[in-house]
Structure formats: structure tokens, C-alpha cells
Structure 1
Amino acid sequence: MTGPLRSILLVLILASASWAEETSRPNILLVLTDDQGWTTLGCYGGKIVPTPNLDQLANSGVRFTDAYVTSQCTPTRATLLSGQYTARNRMWHVIPWYGCPWARVEEVPFVEQLARDQPTIAAQLRQAGYVTGIAGKWHLNNGVDGNYNALNPENASHFGFDFVATAVPKKQFDPGGDRGVDWLTDQTLQFVEQNRQGPWFFYLSHHMIHGKVVAPKELEEKYLQQGYTDEGPNRAVYLAGLEAIDHSIGKLIAGLKKLGEYEDTVIIFLSDNGGIDWRLDHRNLQKPHPDTPKLAVDIYEYDNAPLRAGKGSIYEGGVRVPLIMSWPKKWPAGKVIHTPVHAVDLAPTCFQLAGHKPVEDQALDGFDLSELITKGTDPSFTDRPIYQYSPIYDLNWGLTPCASIRVGDFKLIEMFGDRFDSEHQYVLGHRIELYDLKKDLGEQNDLVETKPEVRNKLHRQLRDWMRAMDVPAPRLNSHYEPARAFETTRVKTEWVVAP
């Protein structure tokens, strides 16, 4: 073979290898819903709202029964995009700032803007050759970079996105609207159609089922006719909104199949926190109250049983969510994984799928889920702890400064100085609780006195992790004013400092 022919052959071989590598990397569609609880899907035990499309997604892929996020919007979104626990990225509070500066326990200052130099899934996948896009809720900045509703297209590249869908029109949030479910779904499919040369990464971040809950009239009427009303638990409009989400998943899958992208696309579906069981009204506590104040229930949306509590809570109803992952071309169908996993695991999983090595200065707190999915086991997950750190008050959900750790079946919760009990009654004092989630999913049987060895071991492990993350255990507040303890403000007092 002559030299020129040999050179041409070598070029063709290298091009072929490059093409094979490119086509072996899947597209990634990350779908995040807002405030959708673990029990709202049929495949997770839901019996009220039909979710055939999500159930079919689970049947064609992998369903995780013990998947965790944080208990509220901003922290989960920061965790998801960074691959870091909020104790590391410091975004453990919903933005913009609000707080309880006169409460019994001091709140730990938090980061209020996602930094432009924070490596995100999108930024790193773009480095790996992916075209990246986003549609929907952002809620990680306030200002020129974006806001609650959407990322600013002009500055999206700072966070790794090539494309930003048009924000949902305001009318879609009015009664009868769908909070932009169809709007965002359509723009997602338009992005896919325009980038089929691949690979691509798309982050579809729904506004549904966050309040004020609205839903298409025909869907709401369906549940009204079934006897559900505008009062909870299980409000008709809330049920209708859940069904609208399922319709979106069906539309996405049908669209991907029509475009020939379905088999080569990893679909990841999860919620940003547990479902809203009730939203609490703390205004009554800002008036003269008895020695044992109690939060009033403002609105009751959905019954999260068998999980305890809901959005904003460190109990399972606040932090355990549905997680479904599907890759028809390579992953098993109908697999159920009971190993505890966390949103921090999704970034390293995406990087592995893309053949991307994370940037050196990006500390990742999670593990790649691929081997767990394909083989069912992975030593990285043996006795692997799952952490929560919420050093804040959010009285809408009865949240007081706390942290938790889960290892195996046991979960320990530490309340740093006060709490609201299951009846929303305010209780003073530091408290540790311990539950065996395998035997007591509803967290009703506190084992803190009967399992002292487990309690002490997990508590040491939790505190060691907090020290490693360089975050404090909140102390009693030197500015505590009992008469103003439940006063929430958006005005920073002089002692509130930046982290």
C-alpha cells in the first residue's frame, strides 16, 4: 500500500472511531417537576391520578424507590446542577432572602446567587461536545442572570447553556392554565428536532405542580365530577395538575420516537422536593399567643401517606421523591432499585455517560449510578450515607434548623433547638430522633432510646460530615426575642451577614 493510500485509510479509521464514540454517547433529557410527591405516581403506589406515561417510563427503564433531594426548590436545583450537597455549595435556602432573625436558634447565612464560575452539568457536558438547552423554572439567581421563572438567555452561556426556551406566558399561570406544561414540552421537542446531529443535553424544568396550583379546566372538571373539591386533602385542581404532568411525559416520548431520538436518549425524571401535603399559616404566631403556640393549616393539597409530612420537611415526605431513569438502547427495562441514592449522583452519572472527566476543582459528592443500574450492585453504595442540612426556619412548612443522615435502613434527625411536632405544636429544646425506614416508613416509631449504639454512631457520623463540609451546628440565637420569634422578614437585620 502506498503512502498516500495508507494516510487516507488512517484518516478514515480515525474518523470512523470518532463517529462511533460520538454515536455511543446518549442524549440526556433531564425532567424536573416542581413539588411532586413520591406517592403521586401509580408506579409508586398512587391510586387517585392515572399516570400511564410515567408508569410506562418506569416499565421501560429503572425506578428508584429510595431517591432523595432537598426539601425545597432552590437547594435541590443547586444540588442537581452542581453535583454537590448544599452544605458544600451553601445554597440551602430558597431565594430571594427571607429569614427569622429573632427566632430561638440562629440561622446560618447562605449563598443567594448561583455563581457564574460554578461548574454545572450543562457547562461540563458542553465541554464534552454536547449541545445544551434549558426550558422552564430557574430559581437560582435574581438579577441579570435570571429569576424564579427562567434563566436569562443573554447570560445563559455563563451556566453552560447554548439555548434557553422562551419563558412561559403569564396567562398560563391563571386559572385554567397549565403553568406552561405544554409550552415547555413543545419547546423541548423543537430543540431536539433542531439538534438531532447530537449529542444533546436538555434540562426541562416544569413549574407544575407548584402553587398557586392551576390546571386545564377539562382536567379539573374530571376530578370535580369524581367528588373531589377545592378543599384538601386531594384537591381537584391539584389532581388535574398531576395528570397534566403525565400527559407531558407521553408527549415527550412520542415526540422523541417520531424524531428517531428515543432509543439513544437517557431520560431522567424526578421532582425537586416532596409533595405539598399542607401549607401552614404562621401569621397567627406573630400575635400574642399561648405558651405552646401552634401553626394553623392554610391549605391542604395532597395526602403523602405512607410518608410523613411533605414539602419543606426533613421527614421522608419532604425529601424522598420519584426518580425514573430510562435508556432503551442499553439499560434494563422494569428494574426496581431500593438502594438509597441522591440528586448529587446525577451529575457524575451524566459525566460518565458523556465520557467526560469532571474539572479538577469541582468536588462531587455523589457517585455514578451506571453500574448500579446495569449490575444491580456497586460497592460505592454499600453503607453510603445520605445527608440533609437545613440550618434555617421556614414556617410555611414547619421547618426549624435541623440536619439528618441515613445509612442503610436507619435515619437519624437532629433538631438543633426547637421544632414543630406532628400536630404543628411548637416545642422547645434540642432533639434527636431515630427511625428504621424498612420497618417504619412513616417515621412514627422513634428508636432513639432503644437503639443507643446506632444513635451515637450516626450522630458522630453526621457531625463529622458537617465539620468536613465546614458548616456549623446552629446555636441558640443571641438576638432571640420570644415575642418576635415567629416573625418572618425580607429585610436583613444588621447582624445578618454573608456566608
Structure 2
Amino acid sequence: MKLRIFSNKVKPLSILLVGLLAIAGCSQQESASEAKDTSAKHSAEKQPRPNIILVMTDDQGYGDFGMHNNPIVQTPILEELANESQRFTNFHVDPTCSPTRAALMSGKYSLRAGVWHTVMGRHMLNDQHHTLPEILSDAGYNTAMIGKWHLGDNYPFRPQDQGFDHVLNHGGGGVGQAPDYWENDQFDDTYFLNGKEKKYNGFATDVWFDEAIDFIHQQANKEAPFFLYLSTNAPHVPWRAPEQYIEPYKALGLNDDMAKFYGMITNIDDNIGRLRNAMRSDNIEDNTIFIFMTDNGSSMAHKSNGEPLTWLDDDVIAAIEAKTGKKLDSLNNYMRAGKSSTYEGGHRVPFFIRWPNGSLGQPGEFNDLTAHVDVLPTLLDLAGIDGQNIETDGISLVPALKEGSALPDRTLIVTNQRVLNPDPERPYSVMQSNWRYVHAEQTGGVELFDLTNDPGQTNDISAQHPEKVIELAQAYEQWWLHVIGKGTPTTRPVIGSEHENPSRLTGMDWLSPNTDQVPWWPGFGDDKWGKGHGWIGNEDKFMVSPWALKVAENGNYTLTLYLHDIPAKKVIGKSFAHLQLNGETITQPIAAGATSVEFKVPLVQGDIDIRAWFDEQTDDSALSTGLPAFYMYVEKQN
């Protein structure tokens, strides 16, 4: 096997200034030669290619595990898995969902993959990338994706367009968001099975694992290996779980949020046990690479400013300590901040990998600096797949896994953009060994930390190490040029394609000026994360923003506008509907009591920006104050 490895190793300052390619992602001849030799040594196939199961949970941080200094949350099965696995304890992802997933699927930094937000059309993984499931499929794998995708809900960005043969997923980034099926609330919901709506009974996480186990049973006796990507929406908000998982945490004296969050995690733990039992019963465990990881830091830590412990009073803490026999002084593994932050708590996550038949080393821990971009080259290396022409920002972790070898010194960078267009002044963290050069707040400065003596990142030592500040600042500048060197083109869902016709478009994909103008918050259910908290009922607070689309071919199209999605049967309650196509507006009256308005228009192949809204005007003069159409269905007529 020959992997094209792009090293991010930072050289001394004199060498750092030589040029972009030495730092920001291009291979060095010496390290590339070593990588090829190592890859060749490990590529000989002594057995059939392994199955691959990659489980990733959502918004579960490093500290949200019993084995990581959290005596409250119950995760015994994951702890058993960890003890049987090789564990990378200095493993990093992006601080939010879609960027991490884009890096995982492409092997490239999320900005290079074209994904830097979770909404606003900036979360769709461009189909120009040769994704991990596509590579594995080319090598003969049967592929399945179950749960949360969050890299695009329309062609050509859906999981079935990006290399997965079998797909069961919910829409958007969380159950109940605008792209999801109307009124999904994580219990007895309708999901999308290979693009078709299907009703399921039970709690969402249980449904994902049921489908995964069924897939394993179907694949177990086939000659071809399989790749299963099981990505839960839990414990992402809305925080909900079956009551039997919540009640034990309430009994400890935890508040409602913490009880539900930890209840979701314990439910995941039980389901991991069911999945592993299925692997054993089908006799596939030994030749299956099993990976467990999470997608960003803890949303609980995010909500509590980094330390959920502050939500507990002294009496509750004392009672928990008496019950567990353990000192309760951190619920975030002593890290600063959580999800969305570029402090350590926002992007350091667990990574466990296990393969009994794979000639891996003994279970244990590696503290080498590693990241999501390493998963793709590592899996190709382990599976003996030639990755010579696969461009990646990661490195193969096989030398560490099989021989215990130290990985190269390197510099890794994460950023939290969450804006319409990338901005180098947005928060970031430059990581090198135990150094962290962090710009954590948009209006703040840059801090330098040494995690060796300051794991909580409380002591800024930039004044004491000006040379390190210069080195890491320059590394960041050159990395930025690397990741946006080819630009950041808008990814456009394709309408009128034979692969998806009609297309269902939602306001989550508007190119809005800021995140607050996107209806992304889950809107269903009867608790505080549902009705009254999300976008439903607050429709008039959103501005009319465009969908950026691509017309597949010339023809006559029907565009149907809705205030809410079809199942809601929501009366629009306005007099006129407006459809603006690349700046040209068409207006139609709305019939009394109508829930939709239909426009029939000819469209020309190519890029098109579409705005749609309702108001009381006969022209587009009220565009700035109009009531947006949150859903639009587009169908090319035969």
C-alpha cells in the first residue's frame, strides 16, 4: 500500500519561513519514503479484508465517560471496550458537528473539504472529494450509514450519493430540526430509509442500533467485507431518553438537563453492548476493526461554561461522593470549555480502536497528537487498500498501533467558523506537542498554554515564550493559506436531477447572513428544548434568505412553497406569494386557507439563487420584512 501522506510537522522558525509546503499539508520526501516503506510492510494480506464498524456519538465530550474522571455517568460497557482497545488520548476533532464529519469522510481539514458550519449551506460535503465509503466501496466493501449524517440533505450530498449503499438517517443535525421529518421528537419517529420515509417505533438511539444489528446479521455470511458507519444523534439536544435511563440520575439529585444528558449516554452504553453481542453471535468480532469516537466536545460542558459540576450544590456532591467512594471535583476531565470552543474541552475527544485479528499491539494508551483526518489513511492502511492517489491531511496511525512506534511530531489546527464566509480571525487552536496557541473569542486576543503543567488552560504564558508565539502564529497563517488555497466555493444542491426529483429544500440551507437567521433549533416536543424554544412560532423573526442551487437541465419546473412542511398542513395566512429567481420576482395570490402556493416556471441549466416569501404586497417591495417560505419542493416536469 502506498499512502500519499501530507505531514503537518512544524520545523524550527528558520525552516518554517522557507515556504508553505513544508508545514501546511504537503509531503516531505524523507517522511513520505518512510511512510511508503511502513505501509508496504503492513499491506500484505494474510487474511480477508477486515470489516469496519465506526461508531460516533454526538456532543459527548472526553469527560462524559465513567473512565475519564466522571463518577456520575454510568458507561461500564464503553469502559470495557476501552480496556480492550488501543486508545489515543490526545485525539482532536473540530469543535462542532459537520466540520468533524467532513474531515472524517474526506481525510482533509474541514475547510479544505468545504465544510465550516452546521447550517447556512456551509455544511454540505462537496461531491468532488473521494470519500472514505467511496474508497472502501471501490475496494469491494458493502457500506452502510445509520443515524446522523449532517453533510447535506439533498443530491449530491446525501450519504447515498457519497458512497453508502444502505442508509437510514434523520434529516439535519438533530432530530426535530427543519430538515427532519415533521414532528420527530426522538420517539416513534419517521426516518429516511434509502431516501424514502419510513415509520419506526422506539427511541431514536435504539432504532439506530436495531438497524445496525440487522445490517450486521445480513452481512455476516457474505464474502465481501462491510463498512458500517453508525452515527448517533445522542446526546445532542434535545436532551431526551427513555424514563428508565433518566430516573436513576434524578435520584442522585441531578437537575433535569444533566439527568437527561447522562441518561442518553447510558442508553448508548447499553446499545454498544447489544452491538458487540451481535458481532459475537455472528462470529465477526475477531476480524472487525471497531472504532468508537465522538464528534466534538461536550454540549453539557458548553451549557455550563466548561464545568457541569457547578450545577450541583454541596449536599448533592457529598451524597454522590459517599455513594461512589470517589472525589467529585470535575465532570469535564479538568478541561476548559466544551462544544464550539477552541479550548481543549471543545475538540479533544476519545478515540478507541480494536481489531483482535489485526496484529495490533496490546491494549493501551498513546498520547501522540492525532486527529480525525488520520482515520481515513489509517483505515486504508489497516485494510491493505492502495491509497497512493488519495490526498489527505492525515497520517496513518498503523506504526503506533502495530509496533508502538512514536508518531511524527506535527502541528494540528482546528477552527470554529460558524459564519457565512470563512474568516481567519474566527476562533482557532494551534496544537504542537503540549503547546496550545489559542484564539478562543472573536473579540479577544491569542493565548499560549503548556498542557504539561496547565491542562485546564488557565495560565497564559505567551509573554514568557515570544519565540513560540511567533512560530505558532506563522504556522497558523500558512495553514490558513493551505486550507483555503483553492477557494471556498458554495456547494449547491442540484434540482431536476434524475437522482432526486422532487427535491425538498428547507430553511436550514439558506445562505443567511448569520446563524440566528436559520431555523436550525429543534422545534418539536413538550419540554424546554421543543415547543416555544425553537423556530416554530417565531417565523416572523427570520429574514428572507436565498437557497443557492444548481439546475440540472433546462425544462419546466414546479416550485411549491410552504410555511411549514407538508404534514403540518399549516395555513399561510398571507395574501401574496413571491418567488425570486436570480433577482427576478414572480408574484401570485394566495387562496384563503391555503397551505401551499405552486409556481410553474421554465428554468435554465446552471446556478440559480431562489428566494421565496409571503406578504400582503403585490410586488417584491416587502422582501426585507416578508414571511419566509421555510420549505420549498422543486420538481422537474417530464
Normalised by the shorter chain, which TM-score bucket? 0.7 to 0.9
Are the equivalent residues in 2 in contact too, given 1:87–1:471 (CA < 8 A)? Answer: no
User: What is the match of residue 10 of structure 1?
Assistant: none
User: What is the match of residue 338 of structure 2?
Assistant: 310
Q: Given residue 375 of structure 1, which amino acid in structure 2 is its aligned partner?
A: E
Query: How far did 1:320 drift?
Result: 0.5
3-state SS of the aligned residue for 1:270? strand
Q: Cα gap change, 1:452/1:51 in structure 2, threshold over 3 Å: closer, same or farther?
A: same
Q: Give distance in 1, aligned partners of 2:378 and 2:228.
A: 15
User: What is the match of residue 147 of structure 2?
Assistant: 136
Please list the CA deviations of residues 295-321 of structure 1 after superposition, one character each: whole Å capped at 9, or x if unmatched: xx9x97994241111011111111011
Q: Cα gap change, 1:174/1:191 in structure 2, threshold over 3 Å: closer, same or farther?
A: closer
User: What is the match of residue 576 of structure 2?
Assistant: none
Query: How far did 1:327 drift?
Result: 0.7
User: What is the match of residue 250 of structure 1?
Assistant: 273
Q: Give distance in 2, aligned partners of 1:23 and 1:163.
A: 26
Q: Given residue 173 of structure 1, which amino acid in structure 2 is its aligned partner?
A: Q
User: What is the match of residue 125 of structure 2?
Assistant: 114
Q: 2:356 aligns with which of 328, 342, 350?
A: 328
Q: Cα gap change, 1:277/1:221 in structure 2, threshold over 3 Å: closer, same or farther?
A: closer
Are the equivalent residues in 1 in contact too, given 2:409–2:433 (CA < 8 A)? Answer: yes
Gaps of 5+ in 1: 1-19, 98-110, 282-293, 420-427, 474-484
Q: 2:398 aligns with which of 370, 381, 391?
A: 370
Query: How far did 1:21 drift?
Result: 4.1
Please list the CA deviations of residues 95-142 of structure 1 after superposition, one character each: whole Å capped at 9, or x if unmatched: 244xxxxxxxxxxxxx44222332111000011111111111111113
3-state SS of the aligned residue for 2:128? coil
Q: 1:24 aligns with which of 11, 25, 48?
A: 48
3-state SS of the aligned residue for 1:39? coil
Please list the CA deviations of residues 250-277 of structure 1 after superposition, one character each: whole Å capped at 9, or x if unmatched: 1111110010000111111111100113
Q: Give distance in 1, aligned partners of 2:336 and 2:260.
A: 23
Q: Give distance in 2, aligned partners of 1:73 and 1:370.
A: 26
Q: 1:404 aligns with which of 429, 439, 447?
A: 429
Please list the CA deviations of residues 128-159 of structure 1 after superposition, one character each: whole Å capped at 9, or x if unmatched: 11111111111111334577xxx4xxxx1x31
Are the equivalent residues in 2 in contact too, given 1:122–1:160 (CA < 8 A)? Answer: yes
User: What is the match of residue 191 of structure 1?
Assistant: 215
Query: How far did 1:173 drift?
Result: 1.2
User: What is the match of residue 269 of structure 1?
Assistant: 292
Q: Give distance in 2, aligned partners of 1:472 and 1:455.
A: 27
Are the equivalent residues in 2 in contact too, given 1:44–1:322 (CA < 8 A)? Answer: no
Q: 2:166 aligns with which of 163, 166, 176?
A: 163
Q: Given residue 75 of structure 1, which amino acid in structure 2 is its aligned partner?
A: P
Query: How far did 1:374 drift?
Result: 1.8
Q: Given residue 375 of structure 2, which amino acid in structure 1 is its aligned partner?
A: L
Query: How far did 1:359 drift?
Result: 6.6
User: What is the match of residue 14 of structure 1?
Assistant: none
Q: Give distance in 2, aligned partners of 1:365 and 1:460.
A: 18
User: What is the match of residue 68 of structure 1?
Assistant: 92
User: What is the match of residue 455 of structure 1?
Assistant: 469
Structure with more contact order per residue of length (Cα contacts < 8 Å, sep ≥ 6): 1
Q: 1:59 aligns with which of 83, 94, 98?
A: 83
Q: Given residue 160 of structure 1, which amino acid in structure 2 is its aligned partner?
A: G
Size of the alignment, in residue pairs?
411
3-state SS of the aligned residue for 2:56? strand
Q: Identify the structure with the greater helix proportion.
A: 1
Task: Using the TM superposition, name which of 21-30 and 318-327 deviates more.
Answer: 21-30
Are the equivalent residues in 1 in contact too, given 2:116–2:123 (CA < 8 A)? Answer: no
Are the equivalent residues in 2 in contact too, given 1:140–1:146 (CA < 8 A)? Answer: yes
Q: Cα gap change, 1:410/1:279 in structure 2, threshold over 3 Å: closer, same or farther?
A: closer
User: What is the match of residue 346 of structure 1?
Assistant: 375
Are the equivalent residues in 2 in contact too, given 1:179–1:207 (CA < 8 A)? Answer: no
User: What is the match of residue 113 of structure 2?
Assistant: 89
Query: How far did 1:280 drift?
Result: 6.3
Q: Give distance in 1, aligned partners of 2:129 and 2:228.
A: 18
Q: Give distance in 2, aligned partners of 1:166 and 1:310.
A: 26
Query: How far did 1:363 drift?
Result: 1.9
Q: Cα gap change, 1:325/1:280 in structure 2, threshold over 3 Å: closer, same or farther?
A: closer
Q: Given residue 354 of structure 1, which amino acid in structure 2 is its aligned partner?
A: A
Q: Cα gap change, 1:280/1:327 in structure 2, threshold over 3 Å: closer, same or farther?
A: closer
TM-score (norm 2): 0.59
Q: Given residue 372 of structure 1, which amino acid in structure 2 is its aligned partner?
A: A
Query: How far did 1:47 drift?
Result: 1.3
Gaps of 5+ in 2: 1-43, 176-180, 190-200, 313-329, 488-512, 519-542, 549-606, 608-638
Query: Which structure has the bigger radius of gyration?
Result: 2
TM-score (norm 1): 0.75
Q: Give distance in 2, aligned partners of 1:171 and 1:89.
A: 30
Query: How far did 1:465 drift?
Result: 1.6
